A and B are shown apart, each in its own frame.
Chain A
Amino acid sequence: MADSGSLTSSSDEPILSLENLTIGYGEPLVEDVNLVVKPGDIVSIVGPSGIGKTTLIRTIANLIQPISGTIRCSVPRRGGLGYIPQKLGLVRHASVYHNVDLGARAGTPFLSEPKSWLKRRNERVSDAIDKMGIFDKIREPVRRLSGGQQRRVATARTLAQRPKLILADEFLSELDEENISLVINSVKKYIDENDAAIILIEHDIKRAKEISNRMLVIDDGRLNPFVQDKVVQEVKI
């Protein structure tokens, strides 16, 4: 990737560190979360439904304030963090190009776009759409696409943004095996080339082990009957 955008660091400095984090909506949902994410990390968050995985991701994305604890995130406020929500967050009445361009827009400075930036932004968008294999749909409104195609649009938006940290909430669901490989390989390549990292929520533990190099398990006994209380622990892969 010739265009580095805001990503220039290749150090081992943590991109994100969570210290004694307690999250929830008023009432604590998950307590004592500790996590350090470094460049190259692919961290899966695994746990049963309703345990707080999405809440954790949304807290890291600064959409919810933590109840207590510290979040240290070294990425720039603008464009440094890519977020693929569970419902994808696509503008349904707009085209594929428009949606992916939102990511590229976030990856470029606000109100200071000389022609070269616009050209580069356009290249980023086309490149990301091409990688996701949906170039023939570039002018289609997103609402006309299938669920799997929409997931690829959301992934393309994040790739066009070139963030340092990607947060993805079940972004592989609704994809067939071929497209799962396409998406995962593209994201892994991006992470390697840009010293970025990804935290993803995955329901399928087997797949989480396959695609990630670290796994954070949040459990209350539903995954592991030996667990008595709600625990957050990193499991070796």
Chain B
Amino acid sequence: MNRLILAIFILLGLCYFVLFDLVDGNWGNLSGGWSNLSTFWNESLWPPDWTMLQAQTYPECKSSVGFFCSKAYLGMLETLKMAFVATVLGFTGSILLSPFAARNLYPMRVFLPIRMLLAATRSLPSIIWAIVLVAIFGLGPLAGVLAMTFYTIGYLGKLQYEEMEGIRNDPLEAARAMGLSRLEITVNVVIPESSNGLLSQLLFMFEYNVRHGTVLGLVGAGGIGYYLQFYMGFLLYDKVMAFLVVIFVVVVVIDLVSMSIRSFVNEEGDVKRPSWSTILLPPSSAVSYHHGQEED
């Protein structure tokens, strides 16, 4: 424990020296920072302009609930759609590639080129992919979806092969001794055995793509980011703040849902969440839902 604390202190000290080097010892930029932030917050950001959550005047709203015709809703919906398609396509691409990049499954002549391919797609951030793809496909969601798909393949692929490399060795040994082929071992042993991690990464990636989809709008790739970029250009930060609140709420909801879904494939969930009917309940309520208060 003492060694751990010492290691943390050493790392923090190292961070201080590296940061000192980065700012050239000039900490003066920090002075007045809080008062600047306070002024910016009070004069520009808060309160948010909630009219962004109300129906637009044009085109005419056909829904009885005005929110469903608002810029925030329509922009967020488009971002969610982009993130969904990109995550599904990216997951499909990465799950086909990542087993071949796992060192415990394939020899170096196979895993090394696949790792390089995954690293290549990952090395360009999705915003750079978006700039390139906007040039090819023009402004709009298609460029955004493809940009996120490429990045998802590289990023998720790396997480997946590391997850696969971390599985227990005994199922692999049993399957190898039985004489199963590599493909059979991958499909029937490795993927089910690492399913918990793979599912967790998939949900994380969806959340990541939702957040990132907002950034892609800045380069004209559609979604809520389009409105962020538009209003930031006019320095209308109270409107930007309204969109940021919507993004925050959506990300929190995705996180809660992903937590619930993951509880179906882990051992804690076996005890605390015995059925799908409790998916939206917190674990403690899920137990009392099924077993009554006495088991709490």
Contacts and interface: CB of A to CB of B under 8 A. Distances in A.
A58 interface: yes
A61 B184 contact: no
Given A91-B193, A94-B192, A79 B171 contact: no
Interface in A47-100: 58, 61-63, 76-94, 98
A221 to B, nearest CB: 31
A178 B193 CA distance: 31
A230 interface: no
Nearest to B194: A93
Nearest to A92: B193
A118 to B, nearest CB: 15
Interface stretch (B53-61, B93-101, B172-180, B211-219): B172-180
A78 B184 CA distance: 12
A20 B125 CA distance: 58
A89 B173 contact: yes
Interface size classification for chain B: 20 to 34
Nearest to A158: B178
A155 interface: no
Interface residues on A, range: 35 or more
Given A89-B170, A93-B195, A110-B184, A102 B270 contact: no
Given A79-B178, A83-B178, A98 B173 contact: no
A230 B176 CA distance: 30
B188 A93 contact: no
Interface of B: 168, 170-181, 184, 188-189, 192-193, 195-196, 265, 267, 270
18 contacts: A62-B177, A81-B178, A81-B179, A82-B178, A83-B173, A83-B177, A85-B173, A88-B174, A89-B172, A89-B174, A91-B188, A91-B189, A91-B192, A94-B188, A98-B192, A161-B178, A163-B178, A167-B177
